[in-house]
């Protein structure tokens, strides 16, 4: 059984690729199978990293035989959020962060997973929103470094109270 125990950005000529959405790229230990190569074969291997991490587009999973499997981010359904100006976009970012949503932040836009309730809220706040299909590479979060814990909801209400202590005072007003 082939095993990948490390991740590198320093490689050329990968043996294969593996295409995963953002959720599937947050892993520590899991059986995986690469995408099919030009010859029609695939490589099965055990991912066995020292700690859970978000595998980024372009990372290389180093197999114990020296070959590398390149990670590719699968396009997924997202909302691209734009504000009227930088200050408005910052206010929209605050609203998204206050709801603990994973977000990919660029200079002029924010990408989040599709959610009709959040879309309505952002539109109501004057945002321009567009459905897109793109790889999702959200910010890592303040506490974990590698990845924010998913804290998303179904189609229901997004107003809620939290009863947890991060060691500092804050509210979710």
Q: Is position 148 within any domain?
A: no
Q: Does pTM top 0.85 for this prediction?
A: no
Question: How many structural domains is the chain composed of?
Answer: 2
Per-residue pLDDT of the chain (173 residues), as tens digits, is: 999 999 999 999 999 999 999 999 999 999 999 999 889 999 999 999 999 999 999 999 999 999 999 999 999 999 999 999 999 999 999 999 999 999 999 999 999 999 999 999 999 999 999 999 999 999 877 655 444 444 444 444 444 444 444 444 444 44
Which structural domain, as residue segments, surrounds residue 34?
3-73
Domain check: are 55 and 81 in the same one?
A: no
Contacts (Cβ under 8 Å, ≥6 apart) of 96: 81, 103, 110, 112, 118, 122
Q: Are residues 46 and 17 in the same domain?
A: yes
């Amino acid at each position: 059984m082939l095993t990948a125990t490390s991740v590198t950005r320093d490689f050329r000529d990968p043996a294969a690729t593996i295409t995963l959405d953002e959720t599937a790229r947050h892993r520590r230990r899991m059986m995986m199978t690469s995408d099919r190569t030009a010859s029609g074969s695939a490589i099965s291997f055990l991912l066995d990293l020292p700690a859970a991490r978000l595998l980024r587009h372009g990372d290389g999973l180093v197999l114990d035989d020296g070959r590398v499997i390149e990670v590719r981010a699968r396009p997924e359904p997202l909302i691209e959020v734009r504000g009227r100006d930088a200050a408005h976009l910052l206010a929209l970012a605050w609203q998204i962060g206050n709801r603990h949503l994973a977000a990919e932040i660029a200079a002029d836009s924010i990408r989040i997973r599709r959610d009709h309730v959040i879309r309505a809220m952002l539109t109501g706040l004057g945002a321009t929103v567009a459905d897109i299909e793109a790889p999702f590479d959200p910010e890592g979060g303040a506490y974990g470094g590698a990845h924010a814990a998913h804290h998303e909801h179904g189609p229901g209400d997004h107003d809620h109270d939290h009863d947890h202590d991060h060691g500092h005072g804050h509210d979710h007003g």
